[in-house]
Amino acid sequence: MSSIEMVFVVALAAKLVAELVLDALNRSQVLKNSESLPAGLEGVMSEEKFQQANAYTLEKSRFGTLGLLLDAVLLLAVILSGFLPYVFGLWTEAMGNSAWSSALFLIVLMSALSIPGLPLEYWEQFKIEERYGFNRSTVKLWIMDKIKGTLVSLIIGFPLLWLLISIVGWLGTYWWVYGFGIMFGFQLVMMVLYPMLIIPIFNKLTPLEEGPLRTRLMAMSEKAGFHCSAIQVIDGSKRSAHSNAYFTGFGKFRRIVLYDTLIEQLGEEEIEAVLAHEIGHYKKGHIPKMIASSAVMMFLGFAIVGYLATNEAFFESFGFTEPDTGIAFLLFGLLGGTFTFWFSPLFNVLSRKHEYEADAFARDVVGDWQPLSRALRSLSEKNLSNLKPHPAYSGFHYSHPTLLEREAAMKAAG
């Protein structure tokens, strides 16, 4: 085993151990609080619902641990067995070593590597989610989603990868700078096109119908200084009973999307508070801030790929005879998560700061913190949320503050 392979194995082992420990800590926290609702959470859900939420959290955690172990074993096998250089050799012998064949190889290989995870996804959807009343999908719909997702990846991913690999020959040493520019520009375009072209492939988006709710939400939007031409409803209920709301696009293309399950589960005052929260993300400048941080990470990623693409020792350590830009992208994609995992708490701190600011904005626009609090409590109950996760687990896995943390922040500032 080469020294580079050893670094990868140690990094993967460290990440796996950390995740297993975090999962165990969180399960221990759930079990410790399982007898009754923790202080401050009385009234969020009934005792029966609380026990159901604990059971749901524990089952998801144990199942997630199984997934972590299987993913680690698969990744080790793929990286250390010589599988990648072997199949790449067979591919180039049959298809040649051009930019288009390299791009197609990456698409085909990544699709193939996702196949072992399909049984776990199926079990989670149709066993665990079904058992707790969340699954509303059918096997046919689930299969069609997988087929559509693969086709979308091929249609969008293939030309983009072909372009990124091609510019190496066109632009020389600093191709990765232009590659970053292409990918960043693509992301900005997709922020506009995704809700118009991609979402309709999987879901139906319809304008919120005329009526008291729409009138109320549009009036609040105007009061908040957010001139929104349309609020759209997505039919999330065709797959799951979980609910959500999100902001998409920017400039004149911005739009708020509400899950139909959210409208089913909340009253008008609570929905207004949720929408005010989403508008708060826009008014507080969170969208450009997240785009900027994403751009920085993407630039660093391209710089690393640009360096690896010419490093013969790196390729040789994984069994490849010569450098290849497509393979550099592949190895970076497969190995990068073992290192970026450790930065998760930093990104979550920024995300939680944004959530607090959006909560405060919603409180000020609505005039009271309680409507948003009621919405959060209702959603926590409907989604069987883990009401008090272990702090270390929350730090690595929660992009949003917990219910108690959000309520405390709104009360303190109110």
Q: Which residues are catalytic?
A: 278, 359
Half-sphere exposure of 12 (CA within 13 A, CB side): 21
- Beta strands, E only, 169-251: 205-207, 231-234, 245-248
Q: Please tell me whether 397 is known to bind a ligand.
A: no
SS3 143: helix
CB-based contact 277:361 (threshold 8 Å): yes
SS3 325: helix
DSSP β-bridge partners for residue 259: 234
CB-based contact 341:15 (threshold 8 Å): yes
Half-sphere exposure of 122 (CA within 13 A, CB side): 12
Task: Give the strands of the sheet with 231-234, arranged side by side.
Answer: 205-207, 231-234, 255-259, 245-248
Token pair recorded at residue 28: 């221990």
Other beta carbons within 10 angstroms of residue 90's beta carbon come to 10
Q: Please tell me whether 227 is known to bind a ligand.
A: no
Task: Tell me the torsion sign for CA atoms 220, 225, 231, 234.
Answer: negative
Distance CA 57, CA 55 (A): 5
Other beta carbons within 10 angstroms of residue 177's beta carbon come to 14
Q: Please tell me whether 390 is known to bind a ligand.
A: no
Using alpha carbons, list the distances in angstroms from residue 396 to 24, 355, 361, 401: 14, 16, 26, 12
Residue with tokens 């930065």: 343
Residue with tokens 């699709």: 111
Token pair recorded at residue 268: 């008008």
C-alpha Rg value of the chain to the nearest Å: 23
Please give the annotated binding residues, written as ranges.
Answer: 277, 281, 355
Please give the annotated binding residues for Zn(2+), written as ranges.
Answer: 277, 281, 355
